[in-house]
C-alpha cells in the first residue's frame, strides 16, 4: 500500500524516465537425461524524482518446464533519495551481508546510509514474507525446506507462493580506504522468526580486502548466536581468498569453512541459502570448500572461465576420516557481441567417487551442460 501511495504521488511529477525489457533464457541437459528450460521476462521502469530522488520498478514472469508453469514476481522496486551524504531506499531493495552467503537478495523494507570521512554507516530493516520463496530461498528450518520444495499451487497461493516470514535488521559500517589501503566492512545482523518455529539468530560479520597492485587478499568471518526452544547455540564461518589479475587474465583462490554440529558448537545456519558449487549446489552449513577460478579474455567479446572446486564435511574429527565429499569441475564461455546481448555456454561435473563420504565407490557422476541467453530488448 505504501508503495502504491508513493507511486501515485511522485510519478506524475517525473521529468525523466526510462523503460526497458530484458529476456533471460536458460536451457540445460543433465546426466539423468533431464532437459530443463527456464525463462524470465523482466519489464522495468526507472527515472528521476526531482534533483535528489530516483525510482526503479521491475517485475518478472518466470516460466519453466518439468512441469510447465508460470510464476509472476515483483522484482526490484525501489524509491531512492540522496542528499548531503545521506541516502534512503524504500521498497523491494537489494541487500547483501559482507561475506555474501548469510543474507543476500531482494528484501522488502528500507535502508538508510550516511557517508562520512570515517566511512559509511548504514541501517536497514526488512520483511521476507511477501517475496516469492524461490527468489529469496530461505531454508533455516525443516518447515522452510518443505515449503521451498512444495510446488506452486494457484488454488493455495498464499500457502505455496510466499517465503517464510522473518524480519531482518542490520547495522553496517563500510570504509573504502581504511589506512589508505584496505576495504573493510562490518555488520551486525539479526533475524527474527515469525513462522512459529521460534528460531532466532544474530550474526557478527566482518570482511577486509587488502590490494597490492595486481594482487589482493581477502579474509572474513562470522560469529552466529542462535536461540530456539531447545536452548542457545553458537556457530561460526570463515572465508579466505586471494586474487591475481592482469589486463586480460585473472586467477582467484577461495576457501570457506562453516561449523558443523558438535557437543559445544552448532552447525552454521545462514538466513538465505546461496548454493556452493555450480553442480553440487550445497548449502554452506557443516560444509567446507576450496575453489580455484581462472578467467581469460580471449577477445573483446569472448571470455572463458575454469573453476575446479573440492568439498569437505567440516566435522573432520568425528567422521572416522570420511569427510571428503568430492571435486567439481566447471567451465564456461561468455560471448557478448553487443552490450545488450550476452550468451553463456557452460558445463561441468561433480565426482563423488573421488571422495570417501559415499559408501559406493562407483557413485555416478553428476554433470550438466547449460546455455544462457540474456537480451536487453530496449
- Please give the Cα distance from 165 to 33 (Å, whole number): 36
How far apart, in whole angstroms, are the C-alpha atoms of residue 40 and residue 291?
A: 29
Task: Say whether pLDDT at 362 is over 80.
Answer: no
The helix (H) or strand (E) run that includes residue 11 is: none
Could you tell me the maximum CA-CA distance found in the chain, to the nearest angstrom?
Answer: 68
Residue with more model confidence, 249 or 33:
249
Structure confidence by residue, pLDDT tens digits, 182-230: 999 999 999 999 999 999 999 999 999 999 989 999 999 999 999 999 8
Q: Torsion angle, CA of 128/129/130/136, rounded to 10 degrees? A: 50
Beta-carbon neighbour count of residue 266 at 10 Å?
22
Average of per-residue pLDDT values in the chain:
92
Which residues face 332 on adjacent strands? Answer: 305, 346
User: What would the DSSP string read from start to end of 262-325?
Assistant: -SS-PPP--SB---BSSSS-B-SSSEEEEEEEEEEEEETTEEEEEEEEEEEES-GGGTTT--EE
pLDDT of 363 > 80? The answer is: no
pLDDT digits (tens, 9 = 90+) for 133-149: 999 999 999 999 999 99
The yes-or-no verdict on residue 119 having pLDDT over 60 is yes
Q: Which residues contact 333 (CB under 8 A, 6 or more apart)?
A: 302, 303, 304, 344, 345, 346
**What pLDDT does 359 receive?**
61
- 338 forms bridges with which residues in the sheet? 341
Report the pLDDT value the prediction gives residue 5, as an integer from 0 to 100: 43
**CA 35/CA 369 separation, integer angstroms:** 10
C-alpha cell at 60: 518478472
pLDDT tens per residue, range 337-356: 999 999 999 999 999 989 98
Amino acid at each position: 500500500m505504501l508503495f502504491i501511495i508513493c507511486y501515485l504521488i511522485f510519478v506524475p511529477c517525473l521529468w525523466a524516465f526510462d523503460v526497458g525489457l530484458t529476456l533471460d533464457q536458460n536451457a540445460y541437459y543433465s546426466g539423468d537425461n533431464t532437459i530443463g528450460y527456464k525463462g524470465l521476462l523482466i519489464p522495468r521502469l526507472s527515472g528521476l524524482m526531482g534533483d535528489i530522488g530516483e525510482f526503479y520498478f521491475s517485475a518478472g514472469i518466470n516460466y519453466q518446464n518439468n512441469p510447465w508453469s508460470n510464476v509472476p514476481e515483483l522484482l526490484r522496486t525501489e524509491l531512492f533519495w540522496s542528499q548531503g551524504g545521506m541516502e534512503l531506499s524504500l521498497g523491494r531493495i537489494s541487500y547483501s551481508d559482507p561475506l555474501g552467503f548469510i543474507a543476500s537478495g531482494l528484501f522488502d523494507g528500507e535502508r538508510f546510509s550516511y557517508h562520512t570521512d570515517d566511512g559509511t554507516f548504514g541501517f536497514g530493516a526488512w520483511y521476507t514474507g511477501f517475496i516469492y520463496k524461490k527468489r529469496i530461498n530461505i531454508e533455516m528450518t525443516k518447515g522452510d525446506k518443505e515449503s521451498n520444495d512444495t510446488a506452486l499451487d494457484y488454488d493455495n497461493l498464499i500457502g505455496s507462493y510466499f517465503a517464510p516470514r522473518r524480519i531482518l535488521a542490520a547495522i553496517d559500517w563500510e570504509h573504502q580506504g581504511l589506512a589508505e589501503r584496505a576495504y573493510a566492512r562490518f555488520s551486525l545482523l539479526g533475524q527474527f522468526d515469525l513462522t512459529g518455529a521460534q528460531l532466532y539468530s544474530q550474526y557478527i560479520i566482518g570482511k577486509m580486502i587488502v590490494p597490492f597492485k595486481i594482487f589482493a587478499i581477502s579474509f572474513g568471518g562470522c560469529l552466529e548466536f542462535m536461540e530456539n526452544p531447545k536452548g542457545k547455540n553458537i556457530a561460526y564461518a570463515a572465508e579466505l581468498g586471494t586474487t591475481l589479475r592482469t589486463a586480460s587474465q585473472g586467477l582467484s583462490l577461495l576457501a570457506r569453512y562453516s561449523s558443523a554440529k558438535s557437543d559445544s558448537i552448532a552447525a552454521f545456519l545462514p538466513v538465505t541459502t546461496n548454493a556452493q558449487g555450480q553442480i553440487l549446489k550445497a548449502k554452506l552449513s557443516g560444509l567446507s570448500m576450496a575453489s580455484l577460478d581462472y578467467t581469460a579474455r580471449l577477445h573483446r567479446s569472448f571470455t572463458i572461465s575454469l573453476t575446479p572446486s573440492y568439498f569437505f564435511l567440516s566435522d573432520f574429527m568425528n567422521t572416522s576420516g570420511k569427510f571428503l565429499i568430492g571435486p567439481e569441475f566447471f567451465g564456461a564461455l561468455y560471448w557478448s557481441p553487443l552490450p545488450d546481448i550476452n550468451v553463456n555456454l557452460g558445463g561441468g561435473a561433480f565426482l563423488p567417487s573421488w571422495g570417501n563420504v559415499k559408501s559406493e565407490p562407483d557413485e555416478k557422476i553428476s554433470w550438466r551442460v547449460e546455455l544462457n541467453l540474456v537480451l536487453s530488448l530496449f
